Amino acid sequence: MFFFFFQAEDGIRDRSPSRGLGDVYKRQISDIETGLKYFSRICVNIMVENQMPIKPDKKVIEQFMEYVYPLYKDNDRVDILLNNTDFGVG
């Protein structure tokens, strides 16, 4: 079973004000761990530039790549989509 997470721009995911980038990557790790607790397999989809008015936050993606990606890149239960074409779309 897949569990999809979507990379959100800081502050858009919830109504609470931003607490800084450190909190963003910590929430990403927490979300992934929650998914792994309840599902046999999860999928992390990194937001890419598209025609929607909400744009990816490059700093958030950089933090993901530095702190989160190394933790899960070799985990057989975690699929990380870095580009739309990773899933055969686009």
31 close to 42: Cβ distance less than 8 angstroms: no
49 close to 11: Cβ distance less than 8 angstroms: no
Q: Facing residues of 33 across strands? A: none
Q: What is the mean pLDDT of residues 80-86?
A: 77
Q: Is the pLDDT of residue 78 over 60?
A: yes
Q: Which amino acid is at 1?
A: M
pLDDT tens digits, one per residue of 20-73: 566 788 888 999 999 999 999 998 888 888 788 888 888 888 999 999 999 999
Which residue from 1, 17, 9, 5 is spatially nearest to 81, judged by alpha carbons?
Answer: 5
12 close to 53: Cβ distance less than 8 angstroms: no
Q: Is the pLDDT of residue 5 over 70?
A: no
The model carries a pTM of 0.70
